[in-house]
Amino acid sequence: MKFKFAYISIMLFCFSSFLSGQVLTSKKGIPILPAPGDFSLGISATPLLDFAGNLIKINSNSAFSSDAAWNFTGQNQAIYAKYFLKDNTAIRARLRINNSSKKEIAHSIQNQLTNYNQFLYVEDSWIHKTSNILFSAGLEKRRGYGRLQGFYGAELSFALTGASTDSYSYGNAIDSNFHKPARTNFNSNVQSGGSFVKEHKTKAIFGFGIGAFAGAEYFILPKISIGGEFGWNIGMNLSSSNGEEFRKSEYWGIPPGAPTAMSGVQTVTVKYGKTTFFNIDNSQTAGNLFLLLHF
């Protein structure tokens, strides 16, 4: 009797150990959770939720948002990546590169001394470029039960934001006959007093920080999860809130200290100052709601 009891106890112990060591799998035997050596790639899920929300909000073209929604502004369209060192440890990175450029063309009446013709035009143009780059990297620890996995960790973040360049070209030249020629005012580029902006450049704000994050994700399918996180950062930004600015303009005038005979097209470049400020904020810089694919 004692032998049978000991035998059954050993079998139950071995069976329980076998179950505890099993990998969580789907009905088809596919592992659900990521394993050491797995990569994961993801995107922000907020645009997908906005689309689904608009399907519910019939005849509504606005984003599906609410004060109660787990949503963070300014972090859409970021790319997320992870590499799993262990079942419960991963290194992670996030990258967003947002560069844009647009060109507008308009027409002004051509400079004419004689035989004025209102149907003669020249071409003016405006090219507007912007750049925003965001990168972060950190270490993530994980724990959970079944498909629901919680995570936490720390990361470093770097950003170059707010860079922009506005370039203007004009079909009508400034000369001795036309001190203030007809030119298109695209974006306050035509200044009072007959000054015209040729280029307006704003340097990027460089920011860096260190922060902690915590969140959770749920594996809706094998190796596919959706989740979200909150973060708290300590960071610094260099330059003013609008970035350091340069503006190059041209006008008809006289160089400082020169005689009237030296009048002509003058070019002036204005450089604005900059400031440095320190901020501590519980801002979400590590991601918003996201969708991750593991492979």
Mind giving me the DSSP string for 52-82? HHHHHSTT--S----TTS---TT-TT-EEEE
Most confident segment among 175-184, 210-219, 230-239, 282-291:
175-184
Length of the chain: 295
Mention every residue, 6+ apart, whose C-beta is less than 8 A from residue 3. Answer: none
What is this structure's pTM?
0.71
* pLDDT of 67: 39
Contact indicator for 220, 180 with CB cutoff of 8 Å: no
Give residue-wise pLDDT tens across range 111-145. Answer: 999 889 989 999 999 999 999 998 889 999 999 98
Residue 276, SS3 per DSSP: strand
Name residue, tokens 């929604």.
Answer: 69
CA–CA separation, 210 and 205 (whole Å)? 17
Please state the rounded mean pLDDT for residues 188-216.
89
Question: Which residues sit opposite 79 in a β-bridge?
Answer: 43, 95
Whether residue 46 has pLDDT greater than 70 = no
pLDDT band at residue 74 under the 50/70/90 scheme: very low
Please state the rounded mean pLDDT for residues 83-111.
94
* pLDDT of 124: 98
Whether residue 101 has pLDDT greater than 50 = yes
DSSP string computed for 210-273: EEEEEEEEEEEETTEEEEEEEEEEEEEEES-TT--EEEEEEEEE--TT--GGG-EEEEEEEE--
* Of the candidates 213, 220, 216, the residue with the CA atom closest to the CA atom of residue 293: 220
Paired tokens of 94:
């996030």
Higher-confidence residue of 279 and 151: namely 151
